[in-house]
Amino acid sequence: MYKLSGVTKQYSRGKDTVHALRGIDLVIEDGDQLVIQGPTGGGKSTLLQMLGGLDRPTAGSVELDGVDIARLSETKLTKVRAENIGIIFQSFNLIPTLTAQENVETALVPLGLKVSERRSRAAEALESVALAERLHHLPGELSGGQQQRVAIARALVKKPKVLLADEPTGALDEGTRDDILALLDGLWQEYGLTFIMVTHDSHIAKRAPRVATIKKGQITVSDRTTATK
């Protein structure tokens, strides 16, 4: 369970200070799905970084299962990222020189598994995203949708508690987008993940059970399930 209180993030460059997040309070239950939307520059990605432990807030706390990850030591935070958080990006962020299987393996490297176990788990994960046949292909040899599937496999291979996605379909065409969304939906349910997805796409937001909107660093959550009830 995530519990954010008063999360503020400021970026200062010289004299200028950008207030990316201004006091965010938010609770996300385990197994929930939250879609974060809002205008560009609103602070969506920044919030996702706070949730993923990729960056620390200027003020406020980010509790994950009762632990304030904003105040963890770098070593412990790295461990949290390695074990509990899966993340996918708009531009896939695969390592171009590594094959699909090796890319998925990179997520298991910090866990210190045996090479053989790492390999087989990576192969399984790729199978679950329907890429069993493309284990040894380099990212450059795969389509955008396939690359994002590899990235999804990489995010989920460690069986994380949380899956974070920053505009996972932003670089894909509509058909592929729907495939990926369907895949993510399926995996969310299958793994019982806490799934948080940032998107520009109002089409996606409309289908989501719970939507948060961030504008100028401030959040409003509309809980469709409770609202429509």
Ligand X SMILES: Nc1ncnc2c1ncn2[C@@H]1O[C@H](COP(=O)(O)OP(=O)(O)OP(=O)(O)O)[C@@H](O)[C@H]1O
Interacting residue ranges for another protein, rule: CB under 8 A: 45, 49, 52-55, 74-75, 78-79, 81-83, 85, 87, 89, 91, 93, 95-98, 102, 105-107, 109-111, 154, 158, 166
Q: Return d(Cα 82, Cα 103) in angstroms, integer.
A: 15
Task: Measure CA 5 to chain center.
Answer: 20
Reading the block at residue 56, the tokens are 């620390």
Residue 33 is a binding residue for Mg ion (CB under 5 A) = no
Least distance in Å: CB of 102 to another protein? Answer: 6
Q: Which residues bind ligand X (CB under 6 A)?
A: 11, 13, 18, 20, 38, 40-46, 200
Chosen from ligand X, Mg ion, another protein, none, partner binding at 27 (C-beta under 5 to 8 Å by type) = none
CB-facing half-sphere around the CA of 144: CA atoms within 13 A = 15
Chosen from Mg ion, another protein, ligand X, none, partner binding at 11 (C-beta under 5 to 8 Å by type) = ligand X
- For residues 196 and 165, the answer to whether their CB atoms sit within 8 Å is yes
Chosen from Mg ion, another protein, ligand X, none, partner binding at 78 (C-beta under 5 to 8 Å by type) = another protein
Q: Return d(Cα 229, Cα 222) in angstroms, integer.
A: 13
Give the CA radius of gyration of the chain: 18
Residues found near Mg ion in the complex (CB under 5 A): 45
